[in-house]
Structure formats: structure tokens, C-alpha cells
């Protein structure tokens, strides 16, 4: 237990360092490309911070641990929407850009609801995995091409397309430095996420928690720590759009790329254990559609508190279900 705790704490330290490097590199990349940090958050940062989930779930699928894999994917999406956005909104209300309201938030609700429906209906086959993966691929290509097509090349690299940046007014790093910081940040995030996840998982297993529940709760929190750290750092540096894009983009990556790829490797077997997590995930995605349009298109501190409270209630319900299963 003590070794697992040390591993978990060491992983968190690496995540903090990696998150700081990744945010700095992403902001400067957006300024160099003259595109919105939101687009970078939806793509590069979201994919990078989801690296722990990708590695964990593909390996789990190859090793026949489908319950852990799908539990981690569902749990990671729940953490992104309830935990990450809840914490970030408490620090600073999140202004939701029109692009997110009309595209990503709606797409997230559709994809996660489809994922829950397919899983609960036990109809998740290879064709469905290919469909999910294809939708994500098409969306990603459209996002990247649209961002590059509408970037303002008349601006200098230190000028933001959204106006002056009160946090960074100096000339951004060059591409070599951005590449080094981005690669270093991803490496630290992947390593830290692995250590933190393994440590947390070992602690949970030592306490006798079932693998499916471990995947939905403890492991998903561990693998989502890159998003939590990156989101908090981004919000504190005045880049709420980067934090919002990272959380929503990670959900799309988890449901489209990771869930799709995992299904292509080995179709997951979803049991009754996942009914509550899948339903909660779909409800969160739908709730974000409403929240993004309320309070003058801002996820307020009140809504952030509601998201966090719902997550605590979800964990309490899962714990009650586990305890009931032990006594029955």
C-alpha cells in the first residue's frame, strides 16, 4: 500500500510539470499558427492529454480486460465533464465560444448518447466501432482544415486572433522550442498518468474493489489527471477556451478514437455494472448543452458546483452498489 501511495504521488508531480509545459507549448503554437487556442485545445492538447487512456485501453483490449477498458473510457468522459469542467468553473466561470455551442457540445452529446445506447443494447460490434472511429476522423480533419483556412496570417506571431493576450505579450517560442516543450510535456503526462493510475489502481485492488468499478472510478481519475492539471493551469493563465476545448475534445477523442479503436481490437462486453455510469455520462453530455447556453453562454461557478456535486453523488452511488453486492 505504501509503495502504491508513493507511486501515485510521484505521478501527480510529473503531471503538474507536464501540464505546465503542454499549456505553454500549445498557447505559443496557436499564436504561431494565428489560430484560436480553442482549436489547439480541441485537437493537439485533447489528444495529448488522452494519451494515458489510449495506452491503457488498447493494451487492456489486447489482454482481454474489456471491463477495465470500457470502464476507463466511460469514467474518463464523466471526469472530463463533471470533474474537470466543475473544478475549472469554480476557479473562473468558463465563457463558452459560439463554435463550441454550435458544434462540439452538440456533437459530444450525440456521440456519447450513441455510445451509451449501443453499449446498453449490447449491439456494439466491429461496424459500430468503425463508425465511431470514422466520425471522429472526419470531425478532426474538418476542424484542422477549417482552423488553418480561417487563420489570420496578417497578424504577427505575438498577436492573438482573439485580441491582446494579457498573460503573454512577448514573442512566442520558436517551433523547435515548442516541439521540445510539447514532446516533453506529453512524455511527462503519459508517464505521470501511468504512475498515478497504477498507484491508484493498486490501492483500490488492495481494498477489494471490482475491476469494472476500478476502471470507472479510480483508474479514470488517474488517467484524467492530465486534463485536470492542464485545465486548471490554462484557466489560471486566462485561457478558459483552451481548458474548455481540452475537456470536450478529450471526450470526443475517448468516445470516437479510443472507444472505436478498442472495439476494432476486441468488441467490449458491457454488463449491467455499466448501466449507471453510461446513463450518467449521457445525462452529463446533454446537461452541458443546456449549461453552455445559460448564464450568457457561461458555465458559472454555480453550475461548476452542480457538476462537482453530481460527481460526488455518482461516486457515492457506485460505492453503495459495491457494498450492496458484497453483502448480498
**What tens digit of pLDDT does each residue of 138-188 get?**
988 888 787 777 655 444 444 444 444 433 446 788 889 999 998 998 888
For 223-235, the three-class secondary structure string (H helix, E strand, C coil) is HHHHHHHHHHHHH
Q: Cα separation of 209 and 202, whole Å?
A: 10
Tell me, what's the pLDDT at 288? 95
Pick from 66-80, 93-107, 165-179: least confident = 165-179
- Supply the CATH number for residue 79's domain: 1.20.1420.30
Provide the 10 A C-beta neighbour count for residue 31. Answer: 24
Query: What integer is the mean pLDDT of 53-82?
Result: 80
Provide the 10 A C-beta neighbour count for residue 290. Answer: 11
Percent of residues in the chain assigned helix, strand, coil, to nearest 5: 80, 0, 20
Task: Please tell me which residue, 138 or 269, carries the higher pLDDT value.
Answer: 138
- In contact, 103 and 242? CB cutoff 8 Å: no
**What tens digit of pLDDT does each residue of 177-200 get?**
999 998 998 888 878 877 887 777
Radius of gyration of the chain (CA): 19
Tell me, what's the pLDDT at 160? 46
Tell me, what's the pLDDT at 61? 72
Cα–Cα–Cα angle for 133, 20, 181, rounded to 5 degrees? 75
Give how many domains the chain has, as a whole number.
Answer: 1
Which residue pairs, CB below 8 angstroms and at least 24 apart, start in 208-212? 209/322, 210/273, 210/322, 210/325, 211/65, 211/67, 211/68, 211/71, 212/67, 212/68, 212/71, 212/271, 212/273, 212/274
Full residue range of the structural domain in which residue 191 is found: 2-327
Q: What is the largest CA-CA distance in the chain?
A: 68
pTM for the full predicted model: 0.80
CA distances from 177 to 184, 223, 310 (A): 10, 27, 41
Tell me, what's the pLDDT at 162? 40
Amino acid at each position: 500500500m505504501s509503495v502504491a501511495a508513493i507511486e501515485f504521488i510521484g505521478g501527480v508531480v510529473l503531471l503538474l510539470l507536464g501540464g505546465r509545459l503542454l499549456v505553454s507549448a500549445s498557447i505559443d503554437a496557436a499564436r504561431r499558427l494565428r489560430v484560436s487556442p480553442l482549436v489547439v485545445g480541441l485537437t493537439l492538447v485533447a489528444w495529448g492529454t488522452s494519451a494515458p487512456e489510449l495506452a491503457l485501453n488498447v493494451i487492456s483490449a489486447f489482454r482481454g480486460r474489456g471491463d477495465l477498458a470500457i470502464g476507463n473510457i466511460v469514467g474518463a468522459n464523466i471526469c472530463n465533464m463533471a470533474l474537470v469542467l466543475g473544478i475549472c468553473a469554480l476557479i473562473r466561470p468558463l465563457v463558452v465560444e459560439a463554435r463550441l455551442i454550435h458544434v462540439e457540445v452538440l456533437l459530444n452529446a450525440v456521440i456519447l448518447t450513441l455510445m451509451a445506447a449501443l453499449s446498453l443494447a449490447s449491439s456494439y460490434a466491429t461496424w459500430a466501432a468503425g463508425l465511431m472511429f470514422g466520425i471522429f476522423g472526419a470531425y478532426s480533419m474538418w476542424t484542422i482544415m477549417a482552423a488553418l483556412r480561417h487563420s489570420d496570417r496578417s497578424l504577427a506571431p505575438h498577436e492573438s486572433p482573439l485580441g491582446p493576450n494579457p498573460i503573454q505579450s512577448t514573442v512566442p517560442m520558436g517551433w523547435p522550442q515548442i516541439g521540445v516543450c510539447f514532446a516533453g510535456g506529453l512524455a511527462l503526462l503519459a508517464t505521470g498518468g501511468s504512475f498515478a493510475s497504477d498507484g491508484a489502481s493498486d490501492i483500490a485492488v488492495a481494498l477489494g474493489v471490482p475491476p469494472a468499478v476500478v476502471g470507472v472510478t479510480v483508474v479514470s481519475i488517474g488517467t484524467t489527471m492530465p486534463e485536470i492539471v492542464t485545465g486548471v493551469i490554462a484557466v489560471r493563465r486566462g485561457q478558459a477556451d483552451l481548458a474548455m476545448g481540452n475537456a470536450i475534445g478529450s471526450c470526443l477523442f475517448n468516445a470516437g478514437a479510443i472507444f472505436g479503436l478498442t472495439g476494432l481490437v476486441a468488441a467490449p462486453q458491457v454488463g449491467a455494472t455499466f448501466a449507471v455510469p453510461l446513463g450518467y455520462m449521457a445525462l452529463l453530455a446533454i446537461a452541458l448543452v443546456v449549461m453552455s447556453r445559460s448564464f450568457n453562454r457561461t458555465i458559472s461557478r454555480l453550475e461548476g458546483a452542480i457538476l462537482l456535486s453530481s460527481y460526488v453523488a455518482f461516486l457515492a452511488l457506485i460505492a453503495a452498489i459495491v457494498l450492496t453486492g458484497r453483502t448480498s
